[in-house]
Amino acid sequence: MLLKAIIFDVDGTLSETEETHRRAFNQTFVEFGLDWIWSQKLYGELLKTTGGKERMTAYLKGRGEFVDGLKVAEIHKRKTVIYGELIADGAAELRPGIAKLINDAAKNDIRVAVATTTNRPNVDRLAEACFGKLAGEVFEVIAAGDEVKNKKPAPDVFNLAVAGLGLDPAECVGLEDSRNGLLSCAGAHVPCIVSPGVYTLGSDFSEAAAVFDCFTAIDTVAKLTTVLEK
C-alpha cells in the first residue's frame, strides 16, 4: 500500500531523552528523602518495564518493598514536572534526521503521529523545546501512554494512533528505538523501522523492516519509501 503516515515513538526516537528521565527520577527521589539511586546500568534494566510508575513499582518489588500506589503516583507526578524543567533548560534535542524527515513529510502530504509510552505533558515539553510549539501543532495524532490500558510491548498505543489517523496499519510506518516499541508496533501490524538509542543498543530487532544506526538513513520520504519497498 502507498505510505500515508509516519508514527513516531518519543523517548529514544524523537530525542535521546532517557538520560534526562533518569536525572529527573533521581532528583525527585532526593526531594522525597528516598535512598533510591538509579545508576545508568540499573536504569538500563528498569527500562525493560515501560511506564514511569510501572518502572518504580518494578524497582520496589525487586527490592522486596511494599508498593504504595498513591505514593508512587505522587512521586511520578513531581518527576514529570522536573523532567519538563530539564527539557526546557535544553537537556535534550532531536535525534539527527528527525527534523528533516518531519519537514519532508509535510512537503509530501505524509501525515505524522506519535505513539508513546510516556504521558502527554512530557510530549508537549519536548515539542516546545525542540519545535517551539506544542506537540499537537506538529503531530496530527498523539497517542500517549496515559490513554491506553496496556503499555508497550502491547500494541494498544499504536492501535490508538492508527485509529486516530483513520488508516489501514499497512499505510503507516512506525519509527522506534527499542524492542518493546518494535513489538508494540508489530503487534498493531504496522511496519517498523528501528534506530537504537543509547540504552537499547544490542537488542533483538529481528522483527523490524529495517534497522539503522541513525535516522539520517531515512530522513526523507523518498528514502523511507525505498526501504519499505525492499
- Sequence spans of domains, the chain: 5-16+94-229, 18-88
* Close Cβ partners of 149 (under 8 Å, ≥ 6 residues apart): 156
Q: Assign 5 to helix, strand or coil.
A: strand
User: How is residue 144 written as a grid cell?
Assistant: 500517549
Residue 156 annotated as catalytic: no
Q: Assign 142 to helix, strand or coil.
A: strand
The superfamily (CATH) of domain 18-88 is: Putative phosphatase; domain 2 (1.10.150.240)
Q: What does each of the 230 residues of the chain score in pLDDT, given as a tens digit? A: 799 999 999 999 999 999 999 999 999 999 999 999 999 999 999 999 999 999 999 999 999 999 999 999 999 999 999 999 999 999 989 999 999 999 999 999 999 999 999 999 999 999 999 999 999 999 999 999 989 999 999 999 999 999 999 999 999 999 999 999 999 999 999 999 999 999 999 999 999 999 999 999 999 999 999 999 98
What is the rounded distance in angstroms from the CA atom of residue 13 to the CA atom of residue 28? 24
pTM for the model: 0.93
The beta strands (E) that lie in 85-146 are given as 111-115, 141-143
Residue 168 annotated as catalytic: no
The superfamily (CATH) of domain 5-16+94-229 is: HAD superfamily/HAD-like (3.40.50.1000)
Q: What is the dihedral of CA 157, 162, 165, 169, to 10 degrees?
A: 160
